[in-house]
Structures are given as structure tokens and as C-alpha cells.
């Protein structure tokens, strides 16, 4: 009888440990807010592979639940959603928040000497590592990666732009800030039109063209309404994958290290390349499938130098002046470092 009781006691103890085991190895679930559709080029080629990298690096200790298509937070609200903890992580487009990260904006100046999203992303992350002033701009969150698009293409409907003279008088959609300033300097007419409206605006001739990355050309099917693609010294735009600081600080050190092993510099380059650079192949594939023509042209060095003198360097000088007037005295050093890193 005593033996049976002892066996029952041991069995009960084992059962307690078995039931407790899952909680001892609790999976850390993180939410991620994304404004893009799940089937978009960026999510398929950058976000989803990176999520898998994180989960593999943490050996399954972390599970990331992605909320696509603004279902957790609208695009312009994602930064505050991460900051407040509504989302643990978020895909952030910094073009939504002019003046919030002003020194980081250096990477979106026109005519900088880099040609790919991968290189732009490398530069931006290294600037973040080098300058405390840029780190301060992200002090409300934990930045995991910073990445850029490639410099925008000039896509047009009726004629190929090959020289400065060709762009004069054309109505070109651009974002605000330095891109608008550059378009004015080049002699074009900048038009501020919401991204979803550009397809019909070009189709109906409201605008003659726009600046766009390959990813947006693919996502918004702009290859259906434009024929001419010119690589000009246009600006790039930049993004961050940020995390709520309290959530980050709550993670075990080994989990933090595992996440950063696939983020940081290499993660930034991965996102820049896979979100933007590779989308060129996707556009060509779609154009071929639908019988659309792509006429591509890249400015020769001597013509590119003209654009730099007219619509590049003056915008750089103006940006430095504006930053210094705001008391951001390191702007020139940051611009110099950007140009050096871009060589």
C-alpha cells in the first residue's frame, strides 16, 4: 500500500513538471505592423525572409506575427504605435514625418553618389553607428535596421528624358522637401499627388511622369501607363524597422543578440537589396507578361554632372544651411561622411 502511494506521489510530481514545461520554454510572441499587402514585392522578398531569419536565429524562442495592410496601425501611425507599445515592431517610412529625423534625411538628398538600395542602406546604418546626433533621433524606439530605396527613376509617358533641356516644363510628381526643390531647380513643374492617384494621373495626362522606385512601379502597376524609364540623379527615400524600447529591454540578452545577428548592418543591406533593387526584375517580368514596352536610359557621366551642379549640390548646401539654422551644427560633417561612404 505504501509502495502504491509512493508511485502515485511520484507520478503526480512528474505530471506537474510536464504541465509546467511549456511555460518554462515560453515562446516570445512579437507583433509587427506593416502597411504593405502580404503579397507585395517587399513583404515577399524582404519582410517574410527576414522574419524567418529572426525565428531561426533565436532557435524558435521568438515568433513574429505580422499584421499586413495597416490592420494593426495605419502607415503614418506606425512610429507612434511602436513607441507606445500598440505594436512591438513596425515598418516605418520616414517620408511620413518631415522633420522628425532631420539629420537622417541626409540620405534622401538628391544626386548622392550611390546607385542601389543596398549601398544606400549600408551608408545610412553606418551614419547611425557613427553619429550620436542621429542615434538621438531614434531614442524613443530601438532601431533594428535602417534601409533606403535606390535613387528614384524618372518615368515618363510621352517622351524619354535624356538631358536637362528635356525635363523643362514637364509636370513631374515628386514628394515634398528636397525632391520638390530639386525639380524646381531642374526646370520641371513639381506636382504633389498621393501615390495611389498617380496611375490615373499619368493615364489622363494630368502629369507627364514621376519619380519612382522599381518596387512602387511593380506594386502600383505603373508599367501599364509609362513607357520611358530614365536613371537620373534623383533622391532615395528611407525606412526603419523599429521596436518598442520596453519590449526590447524585456528580452533576454541571448535573444537580443540573435535578433541583431540578422539585423543591423547586414539586415539593412538585405532589406535595401531585396525590397527595392530586386524589384527591377519583377517589373520587367510583368511588362513582358502584359506586352508592355520598357525603354530604359541611363544618363552618361557628362550629363549626370550637369544635373549634379544644377539640382544636386545647391540642394545639399541649402539643407546644411537649414539644419544649422535649427542648431544642428553637425549637418556638414554628416553630409561629408555620407559622400565619403558613398564612394
Residue 193 neighbours by CB distance under 10 Å: 17
Cβ–Cβ under 8 Å, residues 181 and 317: no
Comparing 15-24, 142-151, 223-232, the range with the smallest average pLDDT is 15-24
Report which of residues 98 and 270 the model is more confident about: 270
Query: Is the pLDDT at 272 greater than 80, yes or no?
Result: yes
Q: Which residues contact 296 (CB under 8 A, 6 or more apart)?
A: 229, 230, 231
CATH code for the domain in which residue 58 is found: 3.40.190.170
Stretch 167-178: mean pLDDT: 90
Q: Is residue 205 very low, low, confident or very high in pLDDT (cuts 50, 70, 90)?
A: very high
User: What length is written for the chain?
Assistant: 343
Q: Is residue 22 very low, low, confident or very high in pLDDT (cuts 50, 70, 90)?
A: very low
Q: 155: closest CA among 94, 204, 224, 108?
A: 224
Cβ–Cβ under 8 Å, residues 198 and 130: no
Q: Which residues contact 64 (CB under 8 A, 6 or more apart)?
A: 29, 30, 31, 32, 51, 54, 55, 89
Query: Is the pLDDT at 142 greater than 90, yes or no?
Result: yes
Residue 206 resides in a domain:
yes
Give residue 8's pLDDT.
Answer: 53
Q: Which residues contact 153 (CB under 8 A, 6 or more apart)?
A: 211, 212, 213, 214, 217, 229, 230, 231, 232, 234
47 and 111 part of one domain: yes
Stretch 188-217: mean pLDDT: 94
Phi, psi of 8 (to 5 degrees): -65, -40
Query: Is the pLDDT at 110 greater than 90, yes or no?
Result: yes
- Radius of gyration of the chain, Cα coordinates, nearest whole angstrom: 24
Kindly state the percentage of the chain with pLDDT values over 90.
86
Stretch 124-134: mean pLDDT: 98
Query: Is the pLDDT at 269 greater than 90, yes or no?
Result: yes
Residue 340 resides in a domain:
no
Query: Is the pLDDT at 225 greater than 90, yes or no?
Result: yes
Residue 126 resides in a domain:
yes
105 and 245 part of one domain: yes
Give the range of the structural domain holding residue 240, as residue numbers without chain letter.
Answer: 30-150+236-277
CA atoms within 13 A on the CB side of 112: 35
Q: Is residue 294 very low, low, confident or very high in pLDDT (cuts 50, 70, 90)?
A: very high
Report which of residues 53 and 25 the model is more confident about: 53
Q: What is the average pLDDT score of the chain? A: 92
What's the chain look like in SS3? CHHHHHHHHHHHHHHHHHHHHHHHCCCEEEEEECCCCCCCHHHHHHHHHHHHHHHHHCCCCEEEEEECCCCCCCHHHHHHHHHHCCCCEEEEEHHHCCCCCCCHHHHHCCCCCCCCHHHHHHHHHHHHHHCHHHHHHCCCEEEEEEEECCCCEEEECCCCCCCHHHHCCCEEECCCCHHHHHHHHHCCEEECCCHHHHHHHHHCCCCCEEEECHHHHHHCCHHHCCCEEEECCCCCCEEEEEEEHHHHHHCCHHHHHHHHHCCHHHHHHHHHHHHHHCHHHHHHHHHHHHCCCCEEEECCHHHHHHHHHHHCHHHHHHHHHHHHHCCCCCHHHHHHHHHHHCC
What's the gap between Cα 235 and its chain centre?
13
143 and 96 part of one domain: yes
Residue 117 resides in a domain:
yes
167 and 189 part of one domain: yes
Give residue 175's pLDDT.
Answer: 81
Which is it for the CA torsion 181, 186, 190, 194, positive or negative? negative
- How far apart, in whole angstroms, are the C-alpha atoms of residue 221 and residue 223? 5
174 and 44 part of one domain: no
Q: Is residue 194 very low, low, confident or very high in pLDDT (cuts 50, 70, 90)?
A: confident
Give residue 176's pLDDT.
Answer: 75
Give residue 25's pLDDT.
Answer: 60
Query: Is the pLDDT at 14 greater than 60, yes or no?
Result: no
Comparing 40-44, 106-110, 174-178, the range with the smallest average pLDDT is 174-178
Give residue 312's pLDDT.
Answer: 96
Stretch 315-326: mean pLDDT: 97
161 and 214 part of one domain: yes
Residue 338 resides in a domain:
no
Beta bridge partners of 31: 65
Residue 63 resides in a domain:
yes
35 and 144 part of one domain: yes
Query: Is the pLDDT at 134 greater than 70, yes or no?
Result: yes
85 and 204 part of one domain: no
CATH code for the domain in which residue 184 is found: 3.40.190.10
Give residue 17's pLDDT.
Answer: 45
Query: Is the pLDDT at 108 greater than 80, yes or no?
Result: yes
Query: Is the pLDDT at 119 greater than 80, yes or no?
Result: yes
- How far apart, in whole angstroms, are the C-alpha atoms of residue 57 and residue 104? 29
Q: Is residue 313 very low, low, confident or very high in pLDDT (cuts 50, 70, 90)?
A: very high
Kindly state the percentage of the chain with pLDDT values over 70.
93
Residue 81 resides in a domain:
yes
98 and 226 part of one domain: no
179 and 46 part of one domain: no
Residue 221 resides in a domain:
yes
203 and 112 part of one domain: no
Stretch 32-49: mean pLDDT: 95
128 and 115 part of one domain: yes
Q: Is residue 12 very low, low, confident or very high in pLDDT (cuts 50, 70, 90)?
A: low
How many independent structural domains does the chain possess?
Answer: 2
The C-alpha cell 515592431 sits at: 89
Query: Is the pLDDT at 23 greater than 70, yes or no?
Result: no
Give residue 177's pLDDT.
Answer: 79
Amino acid at each position: 500500500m505504501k509502495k502504491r502511494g509512493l508511485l502515485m506521489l511520484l507520478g503526480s510530481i512528474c505530471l506537474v513538471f510536464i504541465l509546467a514545461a511549456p511555460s518554462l520554454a515560453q515562446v516570445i510572441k512579437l507583433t509587427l505592423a506593416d502597411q504593405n499587402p502580404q503579397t507585395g514585392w517587399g513583404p515577399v522578398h524582404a519582410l517574410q525572409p527576414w522574419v524567418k531569419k529572426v525565428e531561426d536565429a533565436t532557435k524558435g524562442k521568438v515568433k513574429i506575427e505580422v499584421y499586413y495592410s495597416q490592420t494593426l496601425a495605419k502607415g503614418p501611425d506606425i512610429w507612434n504605435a511602436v513607441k507606445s507599445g500598440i505594436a512591438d515592431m513596425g515598418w516605418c517610412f520616414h517620408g511620413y514625418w518631415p522633420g522628425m529625423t532631420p539629420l537622417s534625411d541626409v540620405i534622401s538628398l538628391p544626386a548622392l553618389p550611390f546607385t542601389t538600395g543596398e549601398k544606400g542602406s549600408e551608408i545610412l546604418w553606418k551614419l547611425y553607428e557613427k553619429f550620436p546626433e542621429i542615434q538621438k533621433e531614434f531614442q524613443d524606439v530601438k532601431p533594428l535596421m535602417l534601409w533606403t530605396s535606390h535613387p528614384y527613376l524618372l518615368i515618363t509617358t510621352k517622351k524619354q528624358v535624356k538631358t536637362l533641356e528635356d525635363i523643362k516644363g514637364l509636370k513631374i510628381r515628386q514628394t515634398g522637401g528636397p525632391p520638390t526643390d530639386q525639380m524646381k531647380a531642374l526646370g520641371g513643374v513639381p506636382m504633389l499627388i498621393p501615390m495611389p492617384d498617380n496611375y490615373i494621373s499619368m493615364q489622363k495626362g494630368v502629369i507627364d511622369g514621376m519619380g519612382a522606385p522599381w518596387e512602387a512601379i511593380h506594386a502600383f502597376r505603373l508599367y501599364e501607363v509609362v513607357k520611358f524609364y530614365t536613371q537620373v540623379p534623383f533622391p532615395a527615400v528611407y525606412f526603419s524597422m523599429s521596436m518598442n524600447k520596453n519590449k526590447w529591454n524585456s528580452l533576454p540578452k541571448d535573444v537580443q543578440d540573435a535578433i541583431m545577428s540578422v539585423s543591423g548592418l547586414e539586415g539593412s543591406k538585405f532589406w535595401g537589396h531585396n525590397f527595392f533593387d530586386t524589384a527591377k526584375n519583377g517589373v520587367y517580368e510583368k511588362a513582358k507578361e502584359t506586352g508592355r514596352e520598357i525603354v530604359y536610359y541611363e544618363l552618361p557621366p557628362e550629363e549626370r554632372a550637369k544635373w549634379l551642379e544644377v539640382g544636386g549640390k545647391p540642394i545639399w548646401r541649402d539643407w546644411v544651411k537649414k539644419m544649422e539654422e535649427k542648431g544642428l551644427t553637425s549637418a556638414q560633417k554628416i553630409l561629408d561622411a555620407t559622400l565619403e561612404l558613398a564612394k
